[in-house]
Amino acid sequence: MLLNVLVLVLLTSLPRFAIAADGPAGADNPASATPTDMGALYDLQRSEAGNPPSDERLGRQLPADTSVLTMEIDGQRFHALRQEAERAEPWGWILLLPDPGMGPAWPQQVEALRFDLARHGWLTLALEPPQPVPPAVPERSLPVMKSFSSASEPAESMPTPAPADREGSSVQAEPDTETDAAKPPGTFAERFNERIALVREQLPQQENQIRIVLAFGRAAGWSAAYIAAHPELDASLVLLDPLPDTQADAPRLSGLWEQLGSTPVLDLYHAPLPGHPEAASAARIRKSQAQRAKMEHYRQSRIAPPFIGWQPEMPWLTQTIRGVIKSQIIESLEQVRTPEQGTQPSIQGQTQPGAATR
């Protein structure tokens, strides 16, 4: 009887000993950390590694098959996102130029297009735009208020200005060597063109390969000006919802149509476009200007579904852009090329650009 009682007491005490033994060890064991804790630890390790905020943000957002190119010009660091074509022989490359007003959200604006175009045989490269030049501060029209020291301080403690200072002429303050040594950033046009020139070195230069520059929003005028100034690039231009840039030196499309006379230009726009009620009327003006400039390769098309914001997947937008690229750029170039130049043979089983997939 006594033996049975002792066995019963021992059995009821074992779970308590097990819980007491496992509890503290599990609290101190890193392997018992939750996924959230491990994620926080990983973020801490990344920040301690010295990654800039932009690099860290891109590393979180982008998949492993995206190549992040980090470049620098005059101390200004920027990035480009390269997505290889899912095709043995790419149709060509497409340079995506986001709207400068997007700021840090520029990867979201190009995400859907750069992945979809890569899946359909295009090498895509998205370039981070430079920051727009802030508007000039107007001159002060009111008197400048000055503060003075307390009247209780002794008069002799107040520094006496030099005679030349009182006259306001001869004596000048010593220059700030650090400020003078720092090179001021160039204009937006200079930085924009320098970035494109540098990123062009990362793109293939084979002949008979289609080259396309796809400009979003306010990048339209800057991109058109660059192509007009660099005819050796031999690239087609796709404008997606072109908007006028309010910067002082921003180029206007109205003054560039004649220079782009031999360039294939696709003008795609949403109407209505949230925040821009004049989108439809502005599109009509662009079309009439291009017609007066006798642009034979200018085509304009309205994107039917309403714009609801940039999303990771936008089938209605990507299919439209692939379709117009195929019909207006690829087929036109194939008709112009001579038999000696040849065209890229289509591989059986490969999806043509712009073709709908199931």
Q: Summarize pLDDT for 84-126 with one digit per residue, the tens.
A: 999 889 999 999 999 999 999 999 999 999 999 999 999 999 9
Q: Read off the tokens for 198.
A: 């540098």
pLDDT tens sequence across 68-77: 999 999 988 9
One-letter amino acid for residue 27 of the chain: A
User: Helical H runs in 34-105?
Assistant: 35-48, 53-61
DSSP state of 232: G
Model pLDDT, residue 16 = 46
| Confidence band, pLDDT 50/70/90 cuts, at residue 349 | very low
Taking phi over 0 as left and psi of -120 to 50 as alpha, with beta for the rest, 27 belongs to: alpha
pTM value? Answer: 0.69
Closest CA to 253 of 198, 280, 215: 215
Q: What mean pLDDT is reported for the chain?
A: 77
Q: Read off the tokens for 312.
A: 């990771």
What is d(CA 18, CA 233) in angstroms, rounded to the nearest whole number?
Answer: 74
Q: Read off the tokens for 233.
A: 């690039």
Residue, of 85 and 186, whose pLDDT is higher: 85
Model pLDDT, residue 7 = 53
| Confidence band, pLDDT 50/70/90 cuts, at residue 54 | low
Among 170-174, 195-199, 307-311, top mean pLDDT goes to: 195-199
Q: Is 116 exposed, middle or buried (0-12, 13-18, 19+ CB in 10 A)?
A: buried
The terminus-to-terminus CA distance of the chain in angstroms comes to: 77
| Confidence band, pLDDT 50/70/90 cuts, at residue 185 | confident
Residue, of 26 and 109, whose pLDDT is higher: 109
Phi and psi dihedrals of 300, rounded to 5? -120, 140
| Confidence band, pLDDT 50/70/90 cuts, at residue 358 | very low
